[in-house]
Amino acid sequence: MAQAALKAWPTGVKGKKNLPPLTGDKLVRECGLPIAELAVDAADVQGLVFRGYGALPECCYPLLRIEEPERGRAFVRAIVDRVSRGVPAARTVAVQIAFTSLGLSALGLPQSILQQFSRPFLEGMVGAHRSRFLGDTGESSPKRWEWGGPSTPPVHVLLMLFAESAPRLEELLAEMRRTWEAHGLSEIRILRTNPALLGKEHFGFADGISQPAIEGYHPVSSRLHLVKPGEFLLGYVNEYGLYTERPLVEAALDPFGSLPLDVEGSPRRDLGRNGTYLVFRQLRQNVVAFRETLDALTRNPDGSPNRQAREYLAARMVGRWPSGASLVEAPHGDDPTKARNNLFRYHHEDRDGLKCPIGAHVRRANPRDALAPHPGSERSLEVNRRHRLLRRGRTYGPELAPDAVDGEDRGLMFIALNANIVRQFEFVQHSWLVDPRFNGLYGEADPIVGMDEQNAFTATIDPVPVRCTGLPRFVTVVGGAYFFMPGIRALRFLGRLPTDTKASS
């Protein structure tokens, strides 16, 4: 582990960041008429978009490969009625399914349709340029990945299975395994989660608190986190008042009329509508290194441990206390009564980061109203809403007891849903989390998921600036892929692809 140090450091003035040019969003129609907003068709959307299935704590993720197109399509037909929808809500079990671009190709989807999907989805997560862009270097390099990497078996299908109890999950998994084996799919691996840590991650903090609400589905009492459905679902208006690019199908290729019509008025049918892109990254957490670094940075002058200082520094790095209470709401100590308070903003309540450091993990992942243009204004919140993610991850591996050391694998199955991978997930990862110049900082990537080595973090600037240096990387990527999670009608279309569709590609 890199030697960490604590030192005073003159912090710079927060600067403004220029947003990159938009990619992937269509221009407004030539007629210039406003686009009519559609109510969310929840019955055609897979339920994971609307809920994380917290009432179903048992969960696993089978990764599969399609060996024959026709048998792969038969598998889709066999399970489509088992796939859980947005309504009604699943009660005892839930099944969700998503495909990589290789998986859609393995089903026999024509290239003329496949090439209409977003470029990051088609290229995948492991290209050299994308790896550098996402910070997947060093120990997180895809060549080291356990799945999804260039030297591992290609993943075609992701199943997401949820259940109310461990026996029920095993029954569901056995049922699904019989189904995929009967249709010739190969099992790559089963990713397991830890139900005992639902809503909590291994560094000891509550997780999944701040989530956006989808306009037209989630009831809210404040517009602070209310986001247009087109930010998460294809075929709907997004925060720009536009429809994100999505795959459309000629009517002749949909003889059963499985797909909805194109809402923009063309005679084609919409394969993307009610679907979303799913980002999956298995993140290994080095809990021992995290605890040792905190100890090294907070020891008393005589070398004895200072538990209170250690907990305070950990909270500063995360931006929340272990209960989930924000440092903006509870700057002096944990307050579980404020754990679910999520209506605070940064600019007027903590402009200079005196309560919650500018570089804290949650402040970087969701800056709220703190960034240009016009911090503290509605325009700043408009920018923020264009980069929101729906997070649906689960913790895996056994919890590490205090002061214990072991060699167990533990971490987070990070899952994010978004309609535009570039503008949402990749922007947040590159420009907010791993950018060492975020919001006027210098040489400071995210203190939790940041650089491979020698990272830094300004812990406080009051009464004097204090900077932690020499921070190691506490989180590494060990697997990942981009998936498309279709709507229910799109699943039926994929299961009914005629055998001669390639002739139309």
The pLDDT score that the predictor gives to residue 371 is: 87
Q: Are residues 189 and 334 in the same domain?
A: no
Q: Are residues 121 and 193 in the same domain?
A: yes
Q: Are residues 14 and 46 in the same domain?
A: no
Q: Are residues 235 and 297 in the same domain?
A: no
Q: Are residues 298 and 234 in the same domain?
A: no
Q: Are residues 246 and 131 in the same domain?
A: yes
**How does DSSP classify residue 147?**
B
The pLDDT score that the predictor gives to residue 5 is: 60
The pLDDT score that the predictor gives to residue 3 is: 55
**Does residue 78 belong to any structural domain of this protein?**
yes
The pLDDT score that the predictor gives to residue 242 is: 96
**Does residue 504 belong to any structural domain of this protein?**
no
Query: Low-confidence residues of the chain, pLDDT below 70?
Result: 1-38, 500-505
Rounded CA gap, 365 and 359, in Å?
10
Round the CA-based radius of gyration of the chain to a whole number and report it: 23
Task: Give the predicted TM-score (pTM) of the model.
Answer: 0.92
Phi-psi region of 94 (alpha: psi -120 to 50; beta: other; left: phi over 0): beta
Q: How far is CA 286 from CA 5, 291, 317, 392, 399, in A?
A: 19, 9, 15, 21, 12
**Does residue 80 belong to any structural domain of this protein?**
yes
Q: How far is CA 448 from CA 363, 407, 444, 453, in A?
A: 12, 20, 11, 12
Q: Are residues 446 and 474 in the same domain?
A: yes
Contact in structure between 310 and 433 (CB atoms under 8 Å): no
**Does residue 32 belong to any structural domain of this protein?**
no
**Does residue 137 belong to any structural domain of this protein?**
yes
From start to end of 92-250, where are the E strands? Answer: 93-99, 157-163, 186-192, 213-214, 226-227, 248-249
* Strand, helix or coil for residue 285: strand
Q: Are residues 259 and 291 in the same domain?
A: no
Q: For residue 265, how many C-alpha atoms fall within 13 Å in the half-sphere facing its CB? A: 6
Tally of CB atoms within 10 A around 32: 6
The pLDDT score that the predictor gives to residue 454 is: 84
Rounded CA gap, 258 and 486, in Å?
13
Q: For residue 478, how many C-alpha atoms fall within 13 Å in the half-sphere facing its CB? A: 16
Q: Are residues 309 and 171 in the same domain?
A: no
The pLDDT score that the predictor gives to residue 35 is: 46
Q: Are residues 87 and 47 in the same domain?
A: yes
Q: Which two tokens stand for residue 470?
A: 């020499």
**Does residue 395 belong to any structural domain of this protein?**
yes
Helix (H) or strand (E) holding 128: helix 128-134
Q: Which domain holds residue 224?
A: 42-280+483-499
Bond prior to 447 in cis (omega within 30° of 0): no
**Does residue 306 belong to any structural domain of this protein?**
yes
**Does residue 37 belong to any structural domain of this protein?**
no
Predicted confidence (pLDDT) per residue in 189-240, tens digit: 999 999 999 999 999 999 989 999 999 999 887 889 999 999 999 999 999 9
Q: Are residues 202 and 317 in the same domain?
A: no
The pLDDT score that the predictor gives to residue 461 is: 86
Rounded CA gap, 475 and 261, in Å?
43
| Structural domain total, the chain | 2
Contact in structure between 459 and 466 (CB atoms under 8 Å): yes
Q: Are residues 101 and 249 in the same domain?
A: yes
Contact in structure between 276 and 234 (CB atoms under 8 Å): yes
What residue type is 454 in one-letter code?
Q
